[in-house]
Chains A and B, each alone.
Chain A
């Protein structure tokens, strides 16, 4: 019940296209859902996060869509750029525990 399942494992998108990464969870106690971006040899960087009281959050080219009833959330990267090529992790946590449960990661390649 602590798992977060992420798909796809890898994704190739043309420059200017939309990248979509999906995550699903089981634990209904989760109330915080961040996305992290990680470049090779670096630590994960917080990209955007959402709480279940809203269905969508947008920051620049990055949007999180959240479906509470389906227990799913997704990251959309609009106008994808080669510089977006990285590994993306979704995660979930409960406010009172703090620990993040991560998805398995998606390796995104944006072709010029």
Chain B
């Protein structure tokens, strides 16, 4: 009974490159959330997705960031033309479908370092 899986666990990119972060939710979960944690700070909501739908992207930066959760396969958080300020830990969480089922379970995170 695997939990939320994220890969890669560590990712190093140079300024201007693209970063792709993957998240596989827990079995039976169809809701995925992405959060960003800057050093010494709390977690900030970025985006909430269900299969093939973006439900809430109010926390996503307007440029360079995008997210998807296709019908098949993991959810992807994509950061284009990375800058040093994108260096952070990115966490994915998932929850089960159904009204009131809002317990979110987090993955181990992807630590992005931009050189």
Contacts and interface: CB of A to CB of B under 8 A. Distances in A.
Given A44-B91, A46-B103, A99 B45 contact: yes
A104 interface: yes
Given A43-B91, A89-B43, A105-B42, A99 B106 contact: no
B55 A43 contact: no
Interface in A19-69: 32, 34, 36, 42-46, 49
Contact of A100 (B4, B43, B100): B43
Interface string B93-115: 10100011011111111000000
Contacts, number: 61
Q: Say which size band chain B's interface belongs to.
A: 20 to 34
Contact of A43 (B45, B56, B103, B108): B108
A95 interface: yes
A103 B45 CA distance: 12
Nearest to B58: A99
A100 B58 CA distance: 12
Given A44-B106, A104-B41, A105-B42, A98 B31 contact: yes
B69 interface: no
A93 B100 CA distance: 11
Contacts of A45: 106
**Residue from the set A43, A49, A95, A105 with the largest chain B CB neighbour count within 10 Å:** A43
A102 B91 contact: no
Contacts of A95: 99-100, 102
A97 interface: yes
Interchain residue pairs A-B with the least CB separation, the first 5: A43-B106, A102-B42, A99-B45, A102-B43, A43-B108
13 contacts: A34-B104, A43-B106, A43-B107, A44-B43, A44-B106, A93-B102, A98-B33, A98-B95, A98-B102, A99-B45, A99-B58, A99-B59, A102-B42
